[in-house]
A and B are shown apart, each in its own frame.
Chain A
Amino acid sequence: GAVVSQHPSRVICKSGTSVKIECRSLDFQATTMFWYRQFPKQSLMLMATSNEGSKATYEQGVEKDKFLINHASLTLSTLTVTSAHPEDSSFYICSARAPGTGGYEQYFGPGTRLTVT
């Protein structure tokens, strides 16, 4: 149980276009999901916290107009990178807050590698 999927796993887009990444909790309901960004050989940086039915909370320094997050249902959160540029190329990972255990555990998706050309 507790599987989180991401789609697509890899995406290449041209500079100036937008790309949407989906994060789904497959066998549980996730009221809270998180989006992280990981640069090569570096740690995960939290971008934003996504709560079902409300606006996402962005971390300091993250452009909310560039990285649009929507959490329309208890099993789906989406990250849209708008007007993508090469510097947005990165590995994006989502996670979902686990039900039970006080909710302190997160289940992570397999990640999406975005390459902007």
Chain B
Amino acid sequence: AQSVTQLDSQVPVFEEAPVELRCNYSSSVSVYLFWYVQYPNQGLQLLLKYLSGSTLVKGINGFEAEFNKSQTSFHLRKPSVHISDTAEYFCAVTSSSGTYKYIFGTGTRLKVLA
């Protein structure tokens, strides 16, 4: 079974400052990892994903994440945030063995301050 931990429920940050949203996972098998963003009353939009290859993954809107197998982490980063980045961010994991089910973290609310 897998689990995902997003330690920070809320992260306030000033506009143009860098931000890191943390995600740690637990799994006995290999996993694939995803970050999604959710704006109020909307569905989820994929920011980036790690399936294989380079452990540094670049996504949309200037976000990137690094897969660290030894630390079982997949932290999301952005060097300079905008007001429009204010949203809920979810980390998700799925087993590479083919169940295709996602386990989501509890989410981190990023609030960008002017």
Q: Which residues of A contact B (CB under 8 A)?
A: 4, 6, 32, 34, 42-44, 46, 49, 91, 93, 95, 97, 101-111, 113
Contact = CB atoms under 8 A, between A and B. Distances in A.
A107 B43 CA distance: 10
Interface of B: 32, 34, 36, 41-46, 49, 51, 90, 94, 96, 100-107
A111 B41 contact: yes
Contacts of B103: 46
Contact of A109 (B36, B43, B101): B43
A46 B103 CA distance: 8
Given A34-B102, A46-B101, A109-B43, 9 more contacts: A4-B43, A34-B101, A42-B106, A43-B106, A44-B102, A44-B104, A104-B51, A107-B46, A108-B36
B43 A111 contact: yes
B43 A108 contact: yes
A108 B101 contact: no
A75 B42 CA distance: 21
